[in-house]
């Protein structure tokens, strides 16, 4: 099982995403934004960061990177794709996922241990969760307010495309408390919080049990390993 | 292309009597005369620009140099053991074992941050991070030491929100975890806030790089952002001249930062190092190309020729002098072997970084700069970069100090009932300097890189260096301007001791020091006395603790009009921990653990947060410090960490035991039941001193009941004073801080009062 992690200029969390892939039991493959090559990987992660300094709009320039042609092609063929934070913004800009992002309602960058509710556990990246499960995943962004027109919101809510919702507190003013969404097929998922930062004891978010002990992010990666194995079986 | 005709060397020789604006560039008449003597002629305008920036206080350390020498003189063999690079380079480098090294430094960006808080603070982060890159290291953490004016002053919100926004913007976008720092408010910083930035980097021993230009024929390459008109004269004018309300606006002199360009530059440099394509490297900060060329050449073994028209410009109208002085951000200068130039250019192109080859290393011993074929600079580079003027400024003991020291806080009225004590605890918890800083720290990313083992509000930040072994470092900084105002020698040592203790409570072994010495005008003899005392205190303290100062920065002219700031020597201590899995958090997480107080409590309220907050009082003498006791305490904590005997450890400092208890119950919402009578009885103090005294060498720890005997045994064996003063109590909505016989405060109330202060003014 090989999972590609793309580095764009200004990517920040790509090495963390590679570590998460490794801890989940798969082989991380470093992919480069300028190549027209996804090296035949089984799944793809678009990591967090400030690609191109978030100039123009967050994720906008990166969504036109050479490798995105292959990413879009693979996504349309059903290859699992996960966009984390800036990666989510790129997937929205590339129209692989519905909606868009704007500045947090309070205008500040915010970093917090965020509670999420799992709203769909049938996507390629969420099968290891139970429906309605509450998980803690670190959140850190400046442009995290999820927004879409009323018709889109109605459609994705009706289709079960809202994958994660903020629980307890909506940290950025996102519509319907939406933290993450999927495409209709369920192979492409994007979310603002960072699952790759909740994979290793001692370095994750605080939980009720102990400080920095949260490991809920690992399930994103074990989910995609399981769903890929099932698809190949 | 520029139409301006630069002043040439030929022209300078031909027109010896031409009047030059040296005074406007910050040079004194005797300094100008000295330059003429060095050159044997008048300087060209380009040379004048170079000398003026490089001989400014900010770049030359001309007023501080004679004192800073102590850091290199007061050293023992043990202090040199782990030191790979000491003072004088871009940053000090310390061997942390297993083939790893850590480089770290703290620097000031005070004056730009008052004029333009957002860009001033942002470029402060950018500048210190480039110092770390230029040592061959990957930057892995940042911290900021901030001091603002009174929290309720109408201008403070502008500065706070700008500075915090700038640090958040730049640091988060660079992908560097922000793991700690300090925020204080005091009216002495109203017109002159302090914005210090610290960065830490990690490297393998073999990747160490230094800033020198050696090897005749090697190419001088400038890469990164283009050179523009921002920050021209920033070094000489901004950083070395205090603010005058009636003066002209200096806004254009503040640099503008682009963290995306710097992030790409970091990755590009690390790839260049990995492939061995760089012989020497220097970042461009204060004094831009003037500084980089003269320092590289002065540290090398030959000379250098530079063709200035090859510099890629953002603004084609810039004159040669402006190009030499520009402080445009996100630029680096490398020395590259000709045979490796193509490989170098390929890496730089991969990262979409712009590059130009400016010139090469020569054997002339001269730094020669041409502009469109004409020689505009021809100097001995060491006269620019190394052998600048050194001043022995007049020093005078401040006459007001005796009166201040005689005005002790010991006579101030004290609480007579538990109810009054409760009210004072709450007032301290909610006071600006002790209140929760989440409003600020929530804007910083500490998760990025996935190696952060501890961060604010822990006493020290801690980063894992090696994923396999768990090897890591801890770092903490401190400075107490109030103590330093009362006694700068003791105050500097107290800052050192507190940072040392904060590293020790995390379970790490302190090994090295960096400092950022923020003071008023060196032309004021009383300020110079404060500076002399503080440096002596720090150097003597480091000698006693046997940990070397590896680098740092001096910032003078921090004053508004004639009113200097409190002397504020920020001291950072770096520690090593073999395995970050054994780190000790600063607050307890579980119910039913025993709470111990290590160390003696004396009646020491002079200069305390209690005196300041409850009585608006500053006077007397700061707490007594015994560094050998601090070393015993640190060694005890290391022993406890190795045997995993303590669950949490929190240093007692500002606000004393009361504040430490409040922070410990707030952090994870686990309450405590505490008694003071044993402290009162053993140490002969009253309840006010027990709660609010700021005596040194004290730490609050929590211990699992199963480990009680071993822990107390450890303390007794080392003859360190220990008292069981309470137990951790229930968590959740019912959690309380119960100081028995005195008062009970719900944790929810402490948290609410602590959390509401900053958002009230800045939210």
In three-state form (DSSP H/G/I as H, E/B as E, the rest C), the secondary structure along B109-153 is CHHHHHHCHHHHHHHHHHHHHHHHHCCCCEEEEEEEEEEECCCCC
* Interface touch A108/B168, C-beta < 8 Å: yes
Residue of B nearest to A209 (CA): B589
Give pLDDT tens digits for B630-641: 999 999 999 999
Give pLDDT tens digits for A149-158: 999 999 999 9
Q: What pLDDT, on the 0 to 100 scale, is given for residue A32?
A: 97
Residue B176 has pLDDT above 60, yes or no: yes
Q: Express the helix, strand and coil content of chain B in percent, nearest 5 each.
A: 40, 25, 35
CB-nearest to A9 from B264, B445, B446 is: B264
Spatial separation of the C-alpha atoms in residues B525 and B511, rounded to whole Å: 34
pLDDT band at B5 (very low <50, low <70, confident <90, very high): low
Spatial separation of the C-alpha atoms in residues B602 and B485, rounded to whole Å: 21
* Interface touch A53/B668, C-beta < 8 Å: no
Measured between CB atoms, does A111 come within 8 Å of chain B? yes
Lowest mean pLDDT among A60-64, B238-242, B286-290, B423-427: B238-242
* Interface touch A202/B580, C-beta < 8 Å: yes
| Strand B331-336 versus strand B743-746 pairing type | unpaired
Residue B167 has pLDDT above 50, yes or no: yes
Of the residues B164, B171, B175, B584, the best mutation for testing chain A's interface (the one with the most A CB atoms within 10 Å of its CB) is: B175
pLDDT band at B251 (very low <50, low <70, confident <90, very high): very low
State the CB neighbour count (10 A cutoff) for residue B336.
Answer: 25
Question: How does DSSP classify residue B237?
Answer: I
Total beta-carbon pairs less than 8 A apart between chain A and chain B? 86
Phi, psi of B684 (to 5 degrees): 65, 40
Question: How does DSSP classify residue B566?
Answer: P
DSSP H stretches of helix in B359-470: 381-385, 401-406, 418-430, 438-441
Q: Which residues in chain B touch residue A62, judged by CB atoms under 8 angstroms apart? A: none
Task: Give the 3-state secondary structure of residue B602.
Answer: coil
Chain B: residues touching A (Cβ < 8 Å): 165, 168-169, 172-175, 258-261, 263-264, 350-352, 442-453, 464, 467, 580-581, 585, 589, 668
Tokens of B693: 């005294």
| Strand B509-518 versus strand B549-555 pairing type | parallel
* Interface touch B258/A50, C-beta < 8 Å: no
Q: Which of B364, B363, B309, B295 is nearest to B131 (CA)?
A: B295
Q: What pLDDT, on the 0 to 100 scale, is given for residue B134?
A: 92
Specify whether A196 is catalytic: yes
CB-nearest to B264 from A10, A54, A210 is: A10
CA distance, residue B467 to nearest chain A CA (Å): 10
* Interface touch A12/B448, C-beta < 8 Å: yes
Determine whether B296 is exposed, middle or buried from the number of CB atoms within 10 Å of its CB (0-12, 13-18, 19+): buried
Q: Which residues in chain A touch residue B443, judged by CB atoms under 8 angstroms apart? A: 108-111
Q: What pLDDT, on the 0 to 100 scale, is given for residue B98?
A: 94
DSSP states of A168-208: S--SS--GGGEEEEE-TTSSEEEESS-GGGSSSTTSS---S
Residue A162 has pLDDT above 70, yes or no: yes
Measured between CB atoms, does A193 come within 8 Å of chain B? no
Tokens of B371: 């502009």
Orientation angle between helical segments B525-545 and B627-642, nearest 10 degrees: 40
- For residues B169 and A103, is the Cβ–Cβ distance under 8 A? no
Spatial separation of the C-alpha atoms in residues B265 and B283, rounded to whole Å: 11
DSSP states of B700-726: EEEE-GGGHHHHHHHHHHTT--EEEEE
Spatial separation of the C-alpha atoms in residues B217 and A115, rounded to whole Å: 60
Q: What pLDDT, on the 0 to 100 scale, is given for residue B233?
A: 57
* Interface touch B451/A109, C-beta < 8 Å: no
Q: What pLDDT, on the 0 to 100 scale, is given for residue B245?
A: 44
Residue of A nearest to B257 (CA): A53
Q: What pLDDT, on the 0 to 100 scale, is given for residue B285?
A: 82
Give pLDDT tens digits for B577-605: 999 999 999 999 999 999 999 999 999 99
Q: Which of B78, B29, B1 is nearest to B511 (CA)?
A: B78
Q: How far is CA A216 from CA A20, A88, A161, A195, A228, in A?
A: 11, 19, 20, 7, 20
Q: What pLDDT, on the 0 to 100 scale, is given for residue B8?
A: 94
Residue with tokens 């790129």: A90
Q: In the predicted model, what is the mean pLDDT of chain B?
A: 93
Q: What pLDDT, on the 0 to 100 scale, is given for residue B277?
A: 95
Q: What pLDDT, on the 0 to 100 scale, is given for residue B253?
A: 62
Give pLDDT tens digits for B630-677: 999 999 999 999 999 999 999 999 999 999 999 999 999 999 999 999
Which residue(s) pair with A147 in the sheet?
A: A100
- For residues B83 and B190, is the Cβ–Cβ distance under 8 A? no
State the CB neighbour count (10 A cutoff) for residue B606.
Answer: 25
Measured between CB atoms, does A8 come within 8 Å of chain B? no
Q: Which residues in chain B touch residue A9, judged by CB atoms under 8 angstroms apart? A: 260, 263-264, 351-352
pLDDT band at B255 (very low <50, low <70, confident <90, very high): confident
Q: How far is CA A118 from CA A110, A220, A221, B260, in A?
A: 22, 11, 15, 34
Tally the residues of chain A: 233
Residue B59 has pLDDT above 80, yes or no: yes
Spatial separation of the C-alpha atoms in residues B179 and B94, rounded to whole Å: 20
Q: What pLDDT, on the 0 to 100 scale, is given for residue A207?
A: 94
What mean pLDDT comes out for the span B8-16? 95
Non-local (6+) Cβ contacts of B400 within 8 A are none
Residue B564 has pLDDT above 50, yes or no: yes
Phi, psi of B500 (to 5 degrees): -60, -45
Q: Which of B371, B346, B348 is nearest to B359 (CA)?
A: B371
- For chain A, give the percent of residues with pLDDT over 70: 100
Of the residues A47, A50, A141, A198, the best mutation for testing chain B's interface (the one with the most B CB atoms within 10 Å of its CB) is: A50
Q: Which residue has better confidence, B329 or A197?
A: A197
Q: Which of B552, B438, B449, B443 is nearest to B170 (CA)?
A: B443
What mean pLDDT comes out for the span A63-84? 97
CA distance, residue B588 to nearest chain A CA (Å): 10
Measured between CB atoms, does A72 come within 8 Å of chain B? no
Spatial separation of the C-alpha atoms in residues B168 and B118, rounded to whole Å: 10
Give pLDDT tens digits for B320-374: 888 998 888 999 999 999 999 999 999 999 999 999 999 999 999 999 999 999 9
CA distance, residue A20 to nearest chain B CA (Å): 10
- For residues B233 and B145, is the Cβ–Cβ distance under 8 A? no
* Interface touch A109/B168, C-beta < 8 Å: yes
Please, what is the Cα angle at B211 between B209 and B213, to 5 degrees?
A: 110
- For residues B671 and B661, is the Cβ–Cβ distance under 8 A? no
Q: How far is CA B157 from CA A38, B162, B423, B429, in A?
A: 48, 8, 27, 21
Residue B10 has pLDDT above 60, yes or no: yes
Which residue(s) pair with B209 in the sheet?
A: none
Q: Which of B760, B54, B20, B625 is nearest to B388 (CA)?
A: B54
Segments of B417-480 assigned E as strands: 452-454, 461-464, 472-478
Q: What pLDDT, on the 0 to 100 scale, is given for residue B494?
A: 98
Tokens of B201: 């980097």
Q: Which residues in chain B touch residue A110, judged by CB atoms under 8 angstroms apart? A: 442-443
- For residues B372 and B283, is the Cβ–Cβ distance under 8 A? no
CA distance, residue B176 to nearest chain A CA (Å): 9
Segments of chain A assigned E as strands: 2-7, 27-32, 43-46, 81-84, 100-102, 110-118, 134-141, 145-147, 162-166, 178-182, 188-191
Q: What pLDDT, on the 0 to 100 scale, is given for residue B24?
A: 86
Give pLDDT tens digits for B183-207: 999 999 999 999 999 999 999 999 8
What mean pLDDT comes out for the span B598-622? 98
Residue B129 has pLDDT above 60, yes or no: yes
Edge-to-edge order in the sheet of strand A27-32:
A27-32, A2-7, A43-46, A81-84, A188-191, A178-182, A162-166, A110-118, A134-141
What mean pLDDT comes out for the span B534-561? 95
Can you give the three-state secondary structure of B13-45, one letter per residue?
HHCCCCCCCCCCCCCCHHHHHHHHHHHCCCCCH
Residue A41 has pLDDT above 90, yes or no: yes
Q: Which of A32, A190, A61, A56 is nearest to A124 (CA)?
A: A190
Distance of CA B8 to the CA centre of its chain: 41
Spatial separation of the C-alpha atoms in residues A133 and A118, rounded to whole Å: 5
Spatial separation of the C-alpha atoms in residues A33 and B21, rounded to whole Å: 51
- For chain B, give the percent of residues with pLDDT over 70: 97
Spatial separation of the C-alpha atoms in residues A10 and B168, rounded to whole Å: 16
CA distance, residue A171 to nearest chain B CA (Å): 11
Residue B257 has pLDDT above 70, yes or no: yes
Q: Which pTM value belongs to this model? A: 0.95
Catalytic residue among A70, A93, A101, A194: A194
Residue B235 has pLDDT above 80, yes or no: no
pLDDT band at B2 (very low <50, low <70, confident <90, very high): very low
């Amino acid at each position: 099982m090989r999972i590609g992690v793309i580095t764009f200029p200004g990517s920040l969390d790509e090495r963390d995403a590679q570590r998460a892939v490794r801890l989940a039991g798969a082989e991380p493959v470093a992919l480069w934004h300028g190549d027209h090559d996804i090296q035949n990987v089984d799944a793809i992660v678009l990591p967090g960061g400030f690609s191109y300094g978030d100039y123009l709009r967050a994720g906008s320039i990166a969504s036109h990177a050479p490798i995105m042609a292959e990413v879009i092609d693979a996504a349309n063929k059903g290859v699992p794709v996960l966009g984390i934070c800036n990666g989510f913004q790129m997937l929205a800009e590339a129209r692989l996922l519905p909606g868009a992002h704007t500045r947090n309602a309070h205008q500040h960058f915010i970093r917090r241990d965020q509670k999420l509710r799992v709203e769909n556990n049938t996507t390629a990246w969420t099968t290891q969760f139970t429906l309605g499960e509450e998980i803690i995943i670190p959140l850190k962004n400046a442009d995290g307010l999820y927004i879409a027109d009323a018709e889109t919101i109605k459609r994705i809510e009706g289709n079960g495309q809202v994958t994660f919702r903020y629980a307890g507190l909506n940290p950025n003013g996102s519509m319907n408390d939406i933290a993450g969404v999927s495409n209709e097929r369920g192979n492409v998922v994007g979310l603002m919080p960072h699952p790759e930062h909740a994979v290793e004891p001692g370095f994750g978010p605080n939980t009720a049990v102990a400080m920095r002990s949260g490991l809920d992010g690992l399930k994103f990666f074990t989910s995609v390993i399981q769903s890929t194995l099932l698809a190949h079986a | 292309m520029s139409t301006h005709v630069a002043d040439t060397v030929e022209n300078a020789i031909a027109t010896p009597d031409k009047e030059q604006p040296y005074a406007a560039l910050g040079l004194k008449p005797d300094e100008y005369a000295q330059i003429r003597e060095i050159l044997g002629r008048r300087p060209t305008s380009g040379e004048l620009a170079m000398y003026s920036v490089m001989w400014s206080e900010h770049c030359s350390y001309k007023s501080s140099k004679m004192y800073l020498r102590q850091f290199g003189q007061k050293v023992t063999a043990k202090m040199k053991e782990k030191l790979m690079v000491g003072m004088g380079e871009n940053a000090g480098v310390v061997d942390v074992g297993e083939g790893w090294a850590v480089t770290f430094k703290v620097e000031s960006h005070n004056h730009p941050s008052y004029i333009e808080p957002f860009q001033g603070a942002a470029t402060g982060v950018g500048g210190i991070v480039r110092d770390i890159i230029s040592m061959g290291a990957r930057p892995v953490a940042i911290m900021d030491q901030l001091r603002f004016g009174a929290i309720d002053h109408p201008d403070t919100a502008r500065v706070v929100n700008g500075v915090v926004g700038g640090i958040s913007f730049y640091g988060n976008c660079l992908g560097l975890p922000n793991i700690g720092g300090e925020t204080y408010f005091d009216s002495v910083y109203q017109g002159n806030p302090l914005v210090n930035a610290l960065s830490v980097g990690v490297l393998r021993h073999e990747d160490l790089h230094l800033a020198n230009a050696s090897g005749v024929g090697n190419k001088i390459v400038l890469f990164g952002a283009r050179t523009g008109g921002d920050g021209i004269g920033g070094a000489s004018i901004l950083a070395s001249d205090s603010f005058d309300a009636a003066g002209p606006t200096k806004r254009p002199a503040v640099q503008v930062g682009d963290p995306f360009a710097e992030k790409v530059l970091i990755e590009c440099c690390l790839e260049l190092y990995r492939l061995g394509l760089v012989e020497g490297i220097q970042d461009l900060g204060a004094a831009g190309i003037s500084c980089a060329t003269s320092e590289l050449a002065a540290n090398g073994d030959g000379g250098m020729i530079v063709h200035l028209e090859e510099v890629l410009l953002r603004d084609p109208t810039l004159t040669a002098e402006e190009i030499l002085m520009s402080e445009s951000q996100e630029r680096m200068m490398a020395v590259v072997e000709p045979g490796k130039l193509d490989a170098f250019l390929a890496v730089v192109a991969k990262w979409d970084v712009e590059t130009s080859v400016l010139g090469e290393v020569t054997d002339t011993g001269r730094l020669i700069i041409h502009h469109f074929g004409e020689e505009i600079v021809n100097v001995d580079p060491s006269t620019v970069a190394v052998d600048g003027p050194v001043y022995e400024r007049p020093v005078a003991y401040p006459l007001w100090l005796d009166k201040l020291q005689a005005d002790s806080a010991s006579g101030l009225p004290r609480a007579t009932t538990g109810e009054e004590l409760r009210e004072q605890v709450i007032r301290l918890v909610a006071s600006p300097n002790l209140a929760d800083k989440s409003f600020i720290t929530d804007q910083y990313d500490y998760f990025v890189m996935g190696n952060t083992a501890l961060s604010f509000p822990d006493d020290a930040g801690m980063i894992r260096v090696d994923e396999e072994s768990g090897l890591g470092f801890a770092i903490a900084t401190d400075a107490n301007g109030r103590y330093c105002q009362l006694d700068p020698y003791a105050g500097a040592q107290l800052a050192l001791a507190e940072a040392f203790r904060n590293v020790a409570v995390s379970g790490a072994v302190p090994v090295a020091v960096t400092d950022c010495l923020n003071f008023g005008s060196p032309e004021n003899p009383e300020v110079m006395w404060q500076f002399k005392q503080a440096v002596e205190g720090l150097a003597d303290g480091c000698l006693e603790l046997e940990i070397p100062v590896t680098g740092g920065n001096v910032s003078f002219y921090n004053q508004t009009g004639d009113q200097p700031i409190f002397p504020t020597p920020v001291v950072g201590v770096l520690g090593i921990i073999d395995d970050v899995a054994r780190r000790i958090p600063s607050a307890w997480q579980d119910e039913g653990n025993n709470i111990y107080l290590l160390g003696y409590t004396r009646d020491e309220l002079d200069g305390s947060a209690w005196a300041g907050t409850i009585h608006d009082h500053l006077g007397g003498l700061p707490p007594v410090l015994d560094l050998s006791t601090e070393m015993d305490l640190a060694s005890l904590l290391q022993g406890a960490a190795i045997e995993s005997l303590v669950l949490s450890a929190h240093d007692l400092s500002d606000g004393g035991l009361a504040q430490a208890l409040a922070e410990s119950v707030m952090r994870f919402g686990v309450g405590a039941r505490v008694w003071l009578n044993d402290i009162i009885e053993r140490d002969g103090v009253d309840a006010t001193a027990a709660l609010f005294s700021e005596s040194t060498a004290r730490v609050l720890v929590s211990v699992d009941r199963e480990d009680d005997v071993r822990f107390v045994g450890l303390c007794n064996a080392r003859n360190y004073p220990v008292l069981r003063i309470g137990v951790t109590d229930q968590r959740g909505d019912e959690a309380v801080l119960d100081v028995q016989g005195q008062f009970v405060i719900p944790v929810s109330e402490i948290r609410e009062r602590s959390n509401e202060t900053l958002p009230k003014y800045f939210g």
